[in-house]
Amino acid sequence: MAKTLLNSVNEILKRTSFIAGDAGTLTSLTDSARQVAIDQAVQVINEGIQELYAVPGMPPMPLSQAENTVTLATGTRAYALNSGVVTLRWPLIDKTNSQFIKPFPGGYAAMLVADPEQDDTGLPYFAAIRPTDGYLHMDRAPTSAENGRIYTYQYYKNTLMSLAADTVPFDDPVWNAMVPAWVQLWKREMRNEFDGELYRIGMGRAARLMTKVPARQSYGSR
């Protein structure tokens, strides 16, 4: 069974005696009396996962898929996308009116060449990611006739966990190896304590399990 963010937070807090075993197990990530410790655990879990995938030879960090919407507004050509967007999946779909917004051929620069005055209006059919700020820039500015139309888009996002039910991006053996490393990161932030050797052992074991590389039998010179 895949471990969740909530499982991981509980394990850190148990191992640091912040909660008393199963009797103190959290059922959510909201608890006013322990919120600072919970939030710190969430932070170090994500930090540890990023550090694990940064180890040389590791596979790329997996991406997860999500969905959001853009609502057209009169006279507005550029729209902010969700802050977690890594890769946008085209097209955007107006499910109510069966309309689509597709990627502008040639991208944002080509769109500016096609309409240098930027004064085209009406229903957008194409869009491009504006490189200066990551906004979605439409080929036309909607009029009052298009105002309020909702377009749904799919996108890939980084595997950063924030919800209790979010699952870790690896199997249970790797999770078991990561827990001691997370504990050391949590202690460093919360108690100014840090055992670098325990951290390295945990991260090293997790990395070997991820890449299926056996542990070295000797670290001495040949």
CA–CA distance, 144 with 73 (Å, rounded to integer): 8
Kindly state the average pLDDT of the residues 164-172. 92
- Domain end, chosen from 118, 140, 158, is at 158
Lowest mean pLDDT among 53-57, 145-149, 214-218: 214-218
Looking at the structure, tell me whether residues 56 and 166 fall in a common domain. Answer: yes
Alpha-carbon span 167 to 147, nearest angstrom: 38
Stated length of the chain: 222
pLDDT at residue 23 is higher than 70 = no
- Model confidence at 59, pLDDT cuts 50, 70, 90, reads confident
> Which residues constitute the domain of residue 119?
63-158
Region of 198 on the Ramachandran plot (φ > 0 left; ψ -120 to 50 alpha; else beta) = alpha
pLDDT of residue 106: 94
Token code pair at residue 79: 């729209």
Q: Residue 104: inside a domain, yes or no? A: yes
Mean local confidence (pLDDT), 126-150: 97
User: What global pTM score does this model have?
Assistant: 0.65
DSSP conformation letters of 157-193: EE----STTPBPSS-HHHHHHHHHHHHHHHHHHHHS-
15-29, 97-111, 187-201, 203-217: least confident range: 203-217
Question: What's the average model confidence in pLDDT over 180-205?
Answer: 96
pLDDT at 216 over 60: no
Q: Which residues contact 11 (CB under 8 A, 6 or more apart)?
A: 179, 182
Q: Look at the chain and report how many structural domains it folds into.
A: 2
